[in-house]
Amino acid sequence: MLNIKNYENFCSHSDKLLGENPSISRVSIDFLHIIRPHHIHNKNFELFFSYSSFLFCCYILKKFIKSILIFIISLFKNLFDDKLSKLKYSKVDVIYVSHLFNLSQIKSSNDLYFNDLKDQLGSQLINSKRIFINHSKYSSLQNTSDIVIGKTSVIKEIKIRILQLREFISLLFTVYKSKSNYEKRITLFASLESLSNSTFNNLRIYFFFKEILKIYSPKLVITTFEGHAYERIIYKIVNSSSKIITAGYQHSAIFKHQHSIKRYFTNDYSPKLIFTSGKITNKFFSDFNKQNKIIELGSSRGKIKIEQKKKNYNFLVVPEGIIEDVDVFLDFVSKITNIISDKKFLFRFHPSISINQIKERKLKYKNNPLIIFSDNSLKNDIEESMFVLYSSSTAVFSCVIGGLTPIYFDNHEIDLNPIYHLKESIQYVKNTNDFINIKEDTEIIKNRHSKYCKDYFTDYNTSKIINLIR
């Protein structure tokens, strides 16, 4: 089960496997970078801490066969599509790394994470280039000034596979050095993950970014910063040049049991400075991090301006960008509507949820008039709602700033509340019966909550980046 003890043990052994100065192939294994606990990951914890030896061996054998097949197939797949060869050499001042979930992001200069950074820099005659890490199903994207990380040369693609094989063998030998049974299981699982597509894609980022730096020679490289493997890889590459500044932008909330963002590496795998979303997170980093320069950049989340409208919906529901989390909320809300018929629920999907997945859910719940799926902006959804039902979605910050009463869906053992500092004044619900006693926050509590969230995400101030470049 996902309890705090198992979670901490898991984090501890992952840190041990990485060490203080790991190889680039070891760092590329996503599995070893524990961002934070999440109830969706329960199955993994059951695998390491609860499965019998027989069941675990069966699972590992199945995963091994699958990993080898994927490894061999992808070795020859689209090997000759070199995206880097199509890029022209030019000088830019700033490169910022964002994330591509759908095509609408390509068409807009306003970024999901960095807001209007490109336009703000351009107004000051500072050249910038946006580079996307591709999380979408689109493999080939043309007619865009942005760069989507893709394939490198044939030689480099083969080098990546060799690095994966070496890491696989290295971790297999490490299994025998592990002391406890769960440590052996985690290490063995990590060895198989070294052959995965996610590891391959992270190593591809390594070689891709090496060439990007040669092509554009930037002064500053900014990535989103949550503690992911690909962030560490980019810092490693960029830090090899003393002329380029590396920066990590903490754009999202920091949870109570957040892990990898606080992990210490050598300077090679860490940004030179950290941009924070506001005052609260600025203090968080300043308290424990003495190696990096900390700068409060702010966030567009704090700028939401709400108009007073007639409330058409009782609850705005904001699950995370994981389809399993969406289904958990839909199932829970569906049960509520079977008991309570006077409350409406407006569902809002994260941009990472695919159109097909949304269509499937709309079809499944089309006969439930109390469940409505939003096609509008977050601002509009907030204006039309009274409460926000959430678990670990950071959209709750904007909702609270907009005056909604937060209702935390407490369906797991570890507290995943992004505004956990306000726990004493937030209503928690575990089951359908808890909804009977839900009430709207008083104005005093609303103002207190709103101030906290505004301090967490202060006004976005790009002058901090402009001054740094100059």
User: pLDDT for 438-452, tens place per residue?
Assistant: 899 999 999 999 999
- Residue in the structure block whose two tokens are 């079809």: 363
- More confident site: 329 or 71: 329
Q: What is the pLDDT of residue 41?
A: 57
pLDDT tens digits, residue range 305-316? Answer: 777 776 777 899
235 lies in the same domain as 337: no
Tokens of 2: 């996902």
* Cα four-point dihedral sign 253, 255, 260, 264: positive
Domain residues for the domain of 157 are 4-80+153-297
Q: Residue 396: which CATH number?
A: 3.40.50.2000
Tell me, what's the pLDDT at 265?
75
- Mean predicted confidence (pLDDT) in 128-156: 79
Contacts of 410 (CB under 8 A, 6+ apart): 428, 429, 430
**Confidence grade of residue 53 (pLDDT, cut at 50, 70, 90):** confident
Q: What is the pLDDT of residues 192-249, one digit of tens each?
A: 899 888 999 999 999 999 999 999 999 999 999 999 999 999 999 999 888 899 999 9
User: Which of 297, 331, 350 lies at the terminal end of a domain, its last residue?
Assistant: 297
259 lies in the same domain as 213: yes
Residue 85: pLDDT band (50, 70, 90) is low
Residue 137 lies in a domain: no
209 and 325 co-located in one domain? no
Q: Is the pLDDT score of 142 beyond 70?
A: no
Q: Are residues 401 and 441 in the same domain?
A: yes
Summary mean pLDDT of the chain: 87
User: Does position 46 have pLDDT exceeding 80, yes or no?
Assistant: no
221 and 345 fall within a common domain: no
Whole-number pLDDT of residue 86: 63
Mean pLDDT confidence for 246-256: 93
Q: Is residue 463 included in any domain, yes or no?
A: no
Closest by CA position to 32, among listed 162, 172, 198: 198
Do 232 and 259 lie in one domain? The reply is yes
Picking from 254, 273, 297, the residue at the C-terminal end of a domain is 297
Greater model confidence, 59 or 389: 389
Query: Which of 69-73, 132-136, 285-289 shows the lowest per-residue confidence on average (mean pLDDT)?
Result: 69-73
In a domain, 32, yes or no: yes
Rounded CA separation 395/183 (Å): 36
pLDDT in the model for residue 417: 93
Total domains in the fold of the chain: 2
Asked if residue 30 belongs to a domain, the reply is yes
Q: Taking CA 38 as the corner, what is the angle to CA 302 and CA 399, rounded to the nearest 5 degrees? A: 25
User: Is 106 within a domain?
Assistant: no
452 or 70, which is more confident: 452
Domain assignment present for residue 140? The answer is: no
How many CB atoms are closer than 10 A to CB 2?
21
Residue 386 predicted with pLDDT over 80 = yes
Answer whether residue 83 shows pLDDT above 70.
no
The whole-number average pLDDT for the span 152-165 is 86
5-44 confidence digits (pLDDT tens): 888 888 899 999 998 788 999 999 999 998 988 765 556 6
Which pLDDT score is estimated for 287?
84
Distance CA 69, CA 52 (A): 26
Please determine, for residue 45, whether its predicted confidence score (pLDDT) is greater than 90.
no
DSSP assignment, residue 406? E
Residue 260 in domain: yes
Question: Could you tell me if 402 and 359 lie in one domain?
Answer: yes
Query: Mind giving me the DSSP string for 69-114?
Result: HHHHHHHHTTTT--SGGGPPP---SEEEEEEE-STHHHH-SSBTTT
Give the domain-ending residue among 297, 326, 346.
297
- pLDDT of amino acid 2: 65
- Beta-strand ranges (E) seen in 206-360 are 220-224, 245-249, 273-276, 293-296, 313-318, 345-347
Q: What's the pLDDT score for residue 146?
A: 84
pLDDT digits (tens, 9 = 90+) for 413-437: 788 899 999 999 999 999 988 888 8
Residues 444 and 370 in one domain: yes
Residues 241 and 320 in one domain: no
Domain annotation covers residue 98: no
**273 and 333 inside one domain:** no
Residue 299 DSSP symbol: B
Same domain membership, residue 338 and residue 268:
no
What is the C-alpha to C-alpha distance for residues 343 and 340, in angstroms, rounded to an integer?
Answer: 7
Task: Please say whether the beta carbons of 277 and 256 come within 8 A.
Answer: no
Q: Is the pLDDT of residue 1 over 70?
A: no
Whether 195 and 280 map to the same domain: the answer is yes
